[in-house]
A and B are shown apart, each in its own frame.
Chain A
Amino acid sequence: MRLASAVILILAILAVAAAIFVWSGLYDISATDQHLAPTYYTIRKTMERSVERRASDIDVPALGAPEQVQRGVVLFRDHCVQCHGAPGVPPEPFALGLTPLPTPLARSGLDRSPAYLYWVIRRGIKMTGMPAWQYRMSDADIWAVVAFVRRLPYVAPAGYMAMEGTVIEKKEDRLAVRPADAGRGERALKQYACIACHEIPGMVGPEARLGPSLRGIGSRVMLGGVLPNTPENMALWILAPTAYAPGTAMPALGVSEGDARDMAAYLATLK
């Protein structure tokens, strides 16, 4: 009994101490100061274990066909070099100010398995600058980047320059038709920054309240004041709001049709 009260007392003291620390503003959130080493290595190990666990059952396709690597080079040049750099190419200046610093991917190509790389590219990593590419890149393209990153440690700067010159047309295969999926839609809503302007139950964001709350949106009659609220219309609306409400502040976020239909399916469940 006395032990129990002692434990509760200690927990209470810790909670108060944590609250005081948070409120005091003593923690230095600036990106100019690196994490303390224990903090950094704890977070890094947490990340590595988290990714390894989640990537363990990914089926890895055949990697390394010349066309695939070529495709990977182009995507890498367009989307990765800016922060990670490349053989002989520094990251853009802004990326040098990131904390934590993005890893040079020649190292990742040696140390990380294809499944690990695929998972990180696809899902992104919280509280780093690493975005989730799942909604901007097809699976085939993500694997192409993986294939190239695995090759990267063996590419000399001159070789990289030569490869980078090869431009290949981007193909959009993420628009493939499939049934709308509310679960995917919930995740997609977070990925297209909807929470930046709308309150959405169960999601956290900047709470900027530019537009109306989406609480109960599923039982509302009109959409944006202009369309009957059906999932089909909701998807159309998300794809191109100004087509229906000229002058609206809501922008088209470059949502794919499939993602828009998933989002609509999820929003319809918010009663």
Chain B
Amino acid sequence: MLLPFLIGCSEKEDPVALLGGDPERGKLLLRQFACGSCHDIPGVAAAKGKVGPPLAGVAGRVYLGGVLPTTPQNMAAFIREPHKFAPRTAMPAMGVNEEQARDMVAYLYTLE
């Protein structure tokens, strides 16, 4: 539970590659899980939601959901179980599995 809060960004290797997701599949999955109804996501069809923050440049932000240091691991964990980290967040757990979360992260890390 505490682990994601403690993970820094010390790894020298490309952390996204380390996680091993497929960005193209991730892009499709972001569409399939309706992430775009709440978030504006460049490149994802009809993803113009304004409930949560836009995801352009999300990987370059220091904090994720305001609560976690932004790393690929943390992002995948946050996507799967937002309430674990931000107890009162409006973002629901969408039933994303681990592999799907990795793919989504791989795509989100391509966004400038």
Chain A residues with CB under 8 Å of chain B are 197, 208-213, 215-216, 219-222, 224-226, 241, 244-250
Question: When chains A and B are docked, how far (Å) is the Cα of A224 from the Cα of B66?
Answer: 8
**Is there a chain A Cβ closer than 8 Å to B46's Cβ?**
no
B61 near A: Cβ within 8 Å? yes
Q: Could you give 30 example pairs across A and B, Cβ below 8 Å?
A: A209-B57, A209-B60, A209-B62, A211-B62, A211-B66, A213-B53, A213-B57, A216-B54, A219-B50, A220-B51, A220-B52, A221-B51, A222-B90, A225-B52, A225-B65, A225-B66, A225-B89, A225-B91, A226-B88, A226-B90, A241-B66, A245-B66, A245-B89, A246-B87, A246-B88, A247-B67, A247-B86, A248-B66, A248-B86, A249-B62
**B107 sits at the interface (CB 8 A):** no
Residues of the A chain whose Cβ atoms lie less than 8 Å from the Cβ of B66 = 211, 224-225, 241, 245, 247-250
Which chain A residue shows the least CB distance to B60? A209
Bound complex: CA of A244 vs CA of B66, how far in Å? 12
Which B residues are in CB contact (< 8 Å) with A213?
53-54, 57
Q: Is the interface of A mostly helix, strand, loop or mixed?
A: loop
Over the window 59-93 of chain B, the binary record of Cβ atoms lying under 8 Å from chain A Cβ atoms (1 yes, 0 no) is 01111011100000000000000000111111100
> Are B54 and A225 in touch, CB under 8 angstroms?
no
Q: Is B63 in contact with A210, judged by CB distance below 8 angstroms?
A: yes
A residues less than 8 Å from B91 (CB atoms) = 225
Judge whether B53 and A208 touch: CB under 8 Å: no
Kindly report which residue of chain A lies nearest to residue B5, judged by CB atoms: A247
> Which of B50, B63, B67, B86 sits near A221, CB closer than 8 Å?
B50
Say which residue of A211, A224, A245, A248 sits within 8 Å of B61 (CB atoms): A211
Q: Is the CB of A212 within 8 A of B54?
A: yes
Q: Which residues of B contact A216 (CB under 8 A)?
A: 50, 54
Instruction: For B86, list chain A residues within 8 Å (CB).
Output: 225-226, 245, 247-248
Most chain A Cβ neighbours within 10 Å, of B63, B66, B87: B66
User: A220 — which chain B residues lie within 8 A by C-beta?
Assistant: 50-53
Interface centre among B54, B57, B61, B91 (most CB of A within 10 A): B61
A211 and B63 contact, CB distance less than 8 A: yes
Hey, which chain A residues are within 8 Å of B90, CB to CB?
Answer: 222, 225-226
What are the residues of chain A within 8 A of B38 when measuring CB–CB? Answer: 221
Q: Among B53, B60, B62, B88, point to the contact of A245 (Cβ < 8 A).
A: B88
Q: How far is the CA of A241 from the CA of B67 in the complex (A)?
A: 12
Determine how close the nearest CB of chain A comes to the CB of B100; give it in whole angstroms: 21
Q: A225-B91, A250-B66 are in contact. List 8 more A-B contacts (CB 8 A).
A: A211-B61, A220-B53, A221-B50, A221-B52, A224-B66, A225-B89, A226-B88, A241-B66
From A219, A222, A248, A250, B52 is in contact (CB under 8 Å) with A222
